[in-house]
Amino acid sequence: MAATRASGTTAVRYGTMRDNVLALEVVLADGRIIRTGSRARKSSAGYDLTRLMIGSEGTLGIITEMTLKLHGQPEAVSAATCRFGSVADAVGCVIATIQSGLTVARIELLDEMMLRGFNAYQGSDLPEAPHLFVEFHGSPAGVGEQAQAFGDLAGEYGASAIRWTDRAEECRELWHMRHQAHYATGALDPGKRTLATDVCVPISRLAEAVTHAQALARELRLTSTIVGHVGDGNFHCGLRVDPGDADEVARIHRFTAALAENALRLGGTVTGEHGVGVGKIAYMSAEHGAAVAVMRSLKSALDPKGILNPGKMLPADDEG
């Protein structure tokens, strides 16, 4: 999680790994062990090596220890599912929720194909339509007010079948379902494998990005689910693929390329939390421009022999 600067369903309130790691112990390529950061909440002493290592995908050092922030358990929790007529309506509700200042803890988008996967995998009977899963944390009174305000906003965007619960076991069941998205995607097109990819865009362009991904999957005749931490503009596509079908593999590559290029066009990034690895190296120069050369300099300084995850994240010099 730290190496890819990833996050989870509560990122919209509690932040990503970048926001929750205070300090690191890191083993460098030459065997030196360094500590970055401290337990202090802030510091202006020296370079921020903690943030440099977070998201470096193991190319600058090996993280062996982390000092993390702790967040208290909320006094009250309220969660809900609600259904929308379109992805655009669901995302419009997300944008309005964020802009209104509601302190939502989780707000997750699931498209109609994802709901079909849940029904197939878990035997649920949710309507196969775009849904938001939401959760609020705080005092009983505060949670009640936030939930009421969200319900009013959702109604303005045509939400229906809003189901609230403040029972701990029902909240756990809801998020357990969400966290089974990979396996639920696997229930579609049995016998194939799932390729997962993600992008992140400004929230104001999120509806455009998601509907583009859905239209692209239809155009390329691909089975794709969409689920996302849409409170911060990040969404994931789960694509079913038969590795032995060369034509389908080619269509998958066309999809992932178009998805990444569209994210950049909309002012976003080719990956919000999965990382670059080798699969998205081709887009690093397009996203970062001259900064890629600076990244190479850092890599050369800390790993001159190139032994830490060689070939990952940074394009070769002759690739831009």
Q: What is the Cα–Cα distance from 214 to 4, expressed in whole angstroms? A: 26
pLDDT of 41 reads 83
Look at strands 104-110 and 224-229 and give their pairing: antiparallel
Task: Decide if 207 contacts 238 (C-beta within 8 A).
Answer: no
Look at strands 131-138 and 76-83 and give their pairing: antiparallel
CA torsion 302→304→308→309, rounded to 10°? 120
Task: Decide if 6 contacts 17 (C-beta within 8 A).
Answer: yes
Q: What is the Cα–Cα distance from 193 to 238, expressed in whole angstroms? A: 10
Model confidence over 74-128: pLDDT tens digits?
A: 999 999 999 999 999 999 999 899 888 888 999 999 999 999 999 999 888 889 9
Model confidence over 144-163: pLDDT tens digits?
A: 999 999 999 999 999 988 88
45: left (phi over 0), alpha (psi -120 to 50) or beta: beta
Domains of the chain with CATH codes? 11-68 (3.30.465.10), 76-183 (3.30.70.2190)
State yes or no: pLDDT of 318 exceeds 60. Answer: no
Q: What is the Cα–Cα distance from 234 to 198, expressed in whole angstroms? A: 7
